[in-house]
Amino acid sequence: MTVNFTADLASRLCFTLLMGVTNVSSRVLFLGCTFIFMVVRFVFTSRSDYWWIMVTSGCLGAMRGPLYTFIALVIDEEYPQQFPKAFSFYMVISGITAFSVGQILYFIGYMSQNDEMVLHVLTILLLVVVVTWAPEMLYRKIKSIKLLSGNK
């Protein structure tokens, strides 16, 4: 756990500096970190030797920090005038989701007697974010390019 928390702290500092010097949207960074997190979580379950777990745990920690940091920035980018209301709504939905999904994951773990199955279900839930956000972001990019070329 020390590796995970150290990587989490270091990544929060590094990504904060990165956000200050680049012009990449928080949404793109959130989506990228989510995808990397999914891949590393899947790889994490493939082996169980000590060093493998330490390295993948560090990678998971390094991606966890930005995920929690970027979600607030994504909400701020989408709703800058209504950020307190939007973030409060996000927190309420997050709590309800955590409570209900937690119960479902407990049931899956209890029935399968397999922690790896629970991790794979969590990874599939992250896949929902990637699958829904990626086409939307692509659509927005194409739409903005068409608007820019139409104005010239």
Region at 98 (left for phi over 0; alpha for psi -120 to 50; beta for the rest): alpha
45 secondary structure, DSSP code: T
Confidence of residue 20 (pLDDT cuts 50, 70, 90): confident
Report domain extents, the chain.
Answer: 2-151
How far are the Cα atoms of 25, 43, 56 from residue 51, in angstroms, in the given order?
34, 13, 8
At 46-77, the pLDDT tens digits run 888 899 889 998 998 898 888 888 888 888 88
Confidence band (pLDDT; 50, 70, 90) for 148? confident
pLDDT digits (tens, 9 = 90+) for 90-118: 999 999 999 999 999 999 999 999 888 99
Q: Band the pLDDT of 29: cuts 50, 70, 90.
A: confident
Residues 6+ apart with CB under 8 A from 37: 60, 63, 64, 67, 126
pLDDT in tens, 82-97: 999 999 999 999 999 9
Give the pLDDT mean for 134-139: 89
Alpha helices in the chain (DSSP H): 2-21, 26-44, 50-78, 83-112, 115-151
Amino acid at 1: M
